[in-house]
Structure 1
């Protein structure tokens, strides 16, 4: 995208603001005189294309000067004489590039949007306070303050951010502050912790306990396990091959004895969760036994919401004992995903269920709750929510032993069935994830890596590791609660103390793999174990990408960087490949006209590719969508139905039970055999496809549009309707508003060689040429060489050309 020319925007700014206000955007109209002032207003936020210069940072608070070199893509390479100064400089530069983004996210996480944007965000803020993100951040900060290394890093980072804030005047303040009419406030260590808690919330906030409780009661054990089994389709467990001994609790879910309609009588209507269970990632590592160079290669592409400013910021951090390159999260110190001279690491979401609801019995006055037949005092606290131009709102939050009561007599939210239920969420536990990344940044060997991740708590992540000594590993790391069978998959009975948490699975029993005989490890949000794992757990796992990655990694033994690029950009949906032969076999060709027969003939040769110019992908998508709608129409009668069974569940039913009870045509209302349903779904799909084809949008890329939205949802600051290849179940997992937020490939050796890209740009300033300058190349599948400098002299030489 070309640079947004701020000077051209503002003759029409009054109209833009009026339209925005009427469109329910995030802000109210600011003082127009200040905003349109040609000397200090929004027009001053434009940036030229002039190359950034080397900075010698000599701010108050530094022990020694820090040199910062910028390469051609405005990536800062920070060289300091000590770790405190390094993190100070990281905070300073991150604020210079991304101040509004990090400030806004921390405020949103804390439930403070009403304070800066007005009363319309009161319900949002109340929900944030009630689910406990702010209180959890405060508890974690107290824990962090006991760890001198982490506290020093956070404090130095905070000082760096504030050193930059102190230099700001209205003229140079980020545009979003001007539009929303508020000022940056002093940064704090708490804000940094809030950023990390916000990420934890994003990755672990999904739950379907209420919906699954209703479905278990409506379907009964046998049918529930057929439609919602813990394992479905082919699996590729994180920890590799499974043993022959099967844990029955992982295979068949029993209905808890207390779960009945009387127990759930307070409410059964369920709204879909606002969290996305598909947010995940790919990451894998291959040893030198499978590469041309003889050294390992590690690949990582975390799948998160696509947004502007970008989620990540690319940088190199160097001080004695540390020389690391990768991406950081604006607002937090250290590199989160990256590499140094010796190791590389990637991260994927563990996808475990760590969020539970306990249905309580509470007295009408909310003074007591029942536990084991006895009435006990219900704790409460009052929180102040400040509101812009209005008096503060005071909210009473009740707390049981399990956690906060989010929905009560005073706050209904959007989940009536969860009224008077307590939320137990691993996010609430004090934790120090920063320590893991600080240690990883300077790790040199496998033992350093294991020490770094040993105390990582939440969110549970799959850490993928490679070392230049040819060690590769993967670990499913975090606090995973010990549970009884089926515990946590349904609403829990809050009156029983035995259902309170009984501790965690021992760290040395968590799934992991070190130097397997296959010479590769991989994670793509699949099951961490097979059915033989001795501990019960549950989650929101997907096997399709993992199965495809395994297929590609097992295909040959001489990988190089280009091969790894091809895997990260692979657009094959393996489910489509598995489903297509079975579906084609069930089509009644006698019922098709000439055009429909032609479409079938083209699908016979389709390879399941969702490439930009593919003309079959869209037809298959329509076809499968129609089949699913017909199969699961009967489930929609249940008010608590929010999630269809997995696609492999349906595919297995087509294969093994073609006369199944759920197969009938919704139009006629008659029960049909699967051949009639599949054939009718195809005929309908061809009609829909022809309607799309008439608009020249039948190629997958023309139909498959993505939106990279500004955090404020202002369209003018976003990139919308971008044509793209990829599919949510392909390795190149691109959806409408989420996808690979950072693609990284690292070939280790005597000197690491790495490539990467993310959808955005280094700057958060919409008037900067670096605001979204990576985005077009990202959509085209291009990579940039990552300039990892082994010394300050090398950085100085290569950035001053």
Structure 2
């Protein structure tokens, strides 16, 4: 009861319950919520005050010891894998149960059960994409092909369920109390579903938007504005890499009759702007110690509870530590006594759309070549809080589910689009992480990755034997050039994928001569790679800044790598601003405010530090200019994607008078300078309003970084206006709602040295002092010591628990 901040917030519980429940449905019963023995008051107690020396846990073969350090990071010591993962499930549920369940209910299209009809369309979209269907396929695949992994998934679920069964009403997470529902049992299926949900968060496609662009612009202009390999690309695998394999052949049709529809439908939700990641490893030849150093910082939405939960997991065979994903087994990004690994999103197009021609209104058959293939029907029963069950019939073809049809998101009876996605095929990503957790060398790392299908990831690797490596891993379809860039005719068998790239032919590199490997969501390879590679969202700024720094650095230390993860250099601004200043006409520089802002911009060193004001000015000026340049294109009714910032800057620099800048619906001939001037004037207007309303326009105050609760309406459980720099396209990729969800730096020597941090805390309980206690350190670029611990280390121990 001594945590005043939490109690002040929860003194408003009645108002909060009413406010958040109004859009969701009925207000929860207030008597249980206010009950001093079982209600929200009990959530004001932190975990160290609830510590228990011993707990009874069924189905263990021997005692498991759990040692919590001063930051509430559990170190679990078990005699075998089954006990280890049963304990992991129990401990994770103890601190993150509501988060685990909420995320899997979102993945299963079940949010309407909690909040009512408000989420019905979201749930329908999730079901129609086939996430639950893919998880069912995955579970069957694991049961049939890897029963040992399935037994471990079951052990984890058993641990979660034992915690749920032992949990008192007092310990029920506060979100359940406010939203008035209770947890259900966990299962192996839910762990599999959670990993499919991560795929959905990270995989995008722009097939429908590119189809619209092709119709609007034509092929020539499309290739000009959206080149697949713009000049200046620096790929993940070092240029000039030799591909020592014979590629499989791919047959491209002589003619490709793309459907000519312009589509006015809402595309699937795409990964949000700012979603990305950095990882790299430097060899001992470039470090002060002579040992390899590995770094990883995945960029995702900044949420509370944090996406990650830190743990050490130890058996007599191995000891691993790092970031776990609540609901999944093992460590996802981390290290053990021999190796370290990390991941970034590989942004590869593994989702394709096919236009389906049904035989008749019954939709029982569809054309495929000269035949009519039979469909199957999957009836999705969506429970809706306070209303009747909603039944949604989804048609399945051999490609996959028909997401868009006459019953969903399409106003035309003849628009039926099926989604082909490797998530719908059986796979076992969980095994990849189980094997990585105990891997000893480069060979083990490759064996682990052979099990990995989706989402495509760039797996960085380093070992204490001195190796560094990078492998771009996923199950990638064999495609002819251009296949999947636009939606295809599902009646034409030539549009089928022709198989998959073999694992051993996925792009990879081991110990390159430059002394480092790195990735930041850019193009995977140069144009010599023998397979077609495409995505609309390759990154152009973080990767070049990272590579330039790593190329120049020597005698590298852990501190240097930490500094690089927190690097605020704004490369996009460094390349665009000088061009904009040169194109700005002199009359635009008149006036006191214009001179003040231009002075700040001209003196700027291009670092987006929190106290700097120039980043705000550039950000607004650029966005206004960019919006002007592509104004007519963005006014299309049909969904499209605009050209990249990188390509736009190249046009401004190299072809400032190109007709691409001319707006066809005006009498003037616009150039890049016209748009820069208009953007500057709009920036002045915005700044006048901002200074009148807010005053301070320093970068941190303008971007207002927020670590938001998973339920946005629970603002009291969020942390707003975090004072930190960086931004989208910067190595320290901290924008208003996205950023480094986990930072890790590991030196692989005879004795492992490791450091990590994430923007949150170990607890999922907003009333705990461990809920958000890492945020300030994270915002300042500080780290926690993450060294491996033994079971008898007493220094910094918060408390210990024996599971019997």
Contact 1:270/1:416 (8 A) holds in 2: no
2:703 matched to 1:704?
A: yes
1:373-384 correspondence to structure 2 within 5 Å: 373-384=370-381
User: Which digits, 9 at most, give the CA deviation of each residue in 1:369-392, with x for residues without a partner?
Assistant: 111143232221223223345443
Of the candidates 232, 242, 251, which is equivalent to residue 230 of structure 2?
Answer: 232
1:345-744 correspondence to structure 2 within 5 Å: 345-362=341-358, 363-412=360-409, 419-539=415-535, 540-589=537-586, 591-593=588-590, 595=592, 596-597=594-595, 599-664=597-662, 670-694=668-692, 695-713=694-712, 714-744=714-744
CA distance in 1, matches of 2:512, 2:57: 49
Q: Deviation of residue 501 (structure 1)?
A: 1.7
Larger displacement relative to structure 2 (672-681 or 299-308): 672-681
Larger displacement relative to structure 2 (635-644 or 444-453): 635-644
CA distance in 1, matches of 2:796, 2:679: 63
CA distance in 2, matches of 1:770, 1:418: 54
Match of 1:297 in 2: 293
Match of 1:111 in 2: 109
Secondary structure class of the residue paired with 2:75:
strand
CA distance in 2, matches of 1:559, 1:236: 22
Contact 1:77/1:316 (8 A) holds in 2: yes
CA distance in 1, matches of 2:429, 2:138: 10
Match of 1:250 in 2: none
User: Which digits, 9 at most, give the CA deviation of each residue in 1:657-699, with x for residues without a partner?
Assistant: 2211132479965223333432343344344334434533221
Contact 1:383/1:394 (8 A) holds in 2: yes
Q: Deviation of residue 329 (structure 1)?
A: 0.4
Secondary structure class of the residue paired with 2:772:
coil
Contact 2:295/2:745 (8 A) holds in 1: yes
User: Which digits, 9 at most, give the CA deviation of each residue in 1:191-219, with x for residues without a partner?
Assistant: 11111111111111x22211110111111
Of the candidates 313, 316, 320, which is equivalent to residue 309 of structure 2?
Answer: 313
Q: Deviation of residue 732 (structure 1)?
A: 0.5
TM-score by length of 2: 0.93
Match of 2:147 in 1: 148
Match of 1:99 in 2: 97
Secondary structure class of the residue paired with 1:495:
coil
Q: 1:537 to 1:416 in 2, by over 3 A?
A: farther
Contact 1:271/1:642 (8 A) holds in 2: no
Match of 1:754 in 2: 754
Match of 2:162 in 1: 163
2:134 matched to 1:139?
A: no
Contact 1:210/1:491 (8 A) holds in 2: yes
CA distance in 1, matches of 2:205, 2:750: 45
Q: 1:11 to 1:576 in 2, by over 3 A?
A: closer
Secondary structure class of the residue paired with 1:498:
helix
Q: Deviation of residue 308 (structure 1)?
A: 0.8
Match of 2:173 in 1: 174
CA distance in 2, matches of 1:417, 1:294: 66
CA distance in 1, matches of 2:192, 2:266: 32
Q: Deviation of residue 634 (structure 1)?
A: 2.2
Q: 1:357 to 1:373 in 2, by over 3 A?
A: same
User: Which digits, 9 at most, give the CA deviation of each residue in 1:341-392, with x for residues without a partner?
Assistant: 1111110001111111101111222122111143232221223223345443
CA distance in 2, matches of 1:799, 1:112: 38
Q: 1:417 to 1:702 in 2, by over 3 A?
A: farther
Q: Deviation of residue 169 (structure 1)?
A: 2.2
1:246-265 correspondence to structure 2 within 5 Å: 257-259=256-258, 261=260, 264=261
CA distance in 2, matches of 1:240, 1:665: 40
User: Which digits, 9 at most, give the CA deviation of each residue in 1:608-660, with x for residues without a partner?
Assistant: 21111112111111222222122112213422243210112112212222211
Secondary structure class of the residue paired with 1:490:
coil
Secondary structure class of the residue paired with 1:15:
helix
5+ residue gaps, structure 1 = 246-252
Larger displacement relative to structure 2 (434-443 or 123-132): 123-132
Q: 1:229 to 1:470 in 2, by over 3 A?
A: same
Q: 1:407 to 1:589 in 2, by over 3 A?
A: same
Q: 1:256 to 1:799 in 2, by over 3 A?
A: farther
User: Which digits, 9 at most, give the CA deviation of each residue in 1:72-123, with x for residues without a partner?
Assistant: 0000000111111111111110000001110111112112223343343332
Match of 2:332 in 1: 336
Match of 2:774 in 1: 774
Q: Deviation of residue 297 (structure 1)?
A: 0.7
Larger displacement relative to structure 2 (86-95 or 167-176): 167-176
Q: 1:368 to 1:468 in 2, by over 3 A?
A: same
1:55-134 correspondence to structure 2 within 5 Å: 55-134=53-132
CA distance in 1, matches of 2:126, 2:676: 45
Contact 2:478/2:531 (8 A) holds in 1: yes
Q: Deviation of residue 337 (structure 1)?
A: 0.4
Contact 1:234/1:547 (8 A) holds in 2: no
CA distance in 1, matches of 2:6, 2:797: 32
Secondary structure class of the residue paired with 1:776:
helix
Secondary structure class of the residue paired with 2:528:
coil
Aligned residues: 785
Q: 1:797 to 1:410 in 2, by over 3 A?
A: closer
Secondary structure class of the residue paired with 2:319:
strand
Contact 1:474/1:522 (8 A) holds in 2: yes
Contact 2:456/2:473 (8 A) holds in 1: yes
User: Which digits, 9 at most, give the CA deviation of each residue in 1:315-351, with x for residues without a partner?
Assistant: 1000011200101000111000001111111100011
Match of 2:43 in 1: 45
Q: Deviation of residue 7 (structure 1)?
A: 4.6
Q: Deviation of residue 736 (structure 1)?
A: 1.9
Q: Deviation of residue 740 (structure 1)?
A: 0.5
Contact 2:25/2:385 (8 A) holds in 1: no
CA distance in 1, matches of 2:767, 2:49: 15
Contact 1:397/1:406 (8 A) holds in 2: yes
Q: 1:140 to 1:4 in 2, by over 3 A?
A: farther
CA distance in 2, matches of 1:534, 1:356: 21
CA distance in 2, matches of 1:388, 1:481: 40
CA distance in 2, matches of 1:60, 1:514: 45
CA distance in 2, matches of 1:712, 1:548: 35
Contact 2:707/2:718 (8 A) holds in 1: yes
Contact 1:137/1:197 (8 A) holds in 2: yes
User: Which digits, 9 at most, give the CA deviation of each residue in 1:391-446, with x for residues without a partner?
Assistant: 43322111111100112222237x97994110111211111011111111111111
Secondary structure class of the residue paired with 1:137:
helix
Secondary structure class of the residue paired with 2:792:
helix
Larger displacement relative to structure 2 (271-280 or 755-764): 271-280
Q: 1:494 to 1:317 in 2, by over 3 A?
A: same
CA distance in 2, matches of 1:666, 1:720: 43
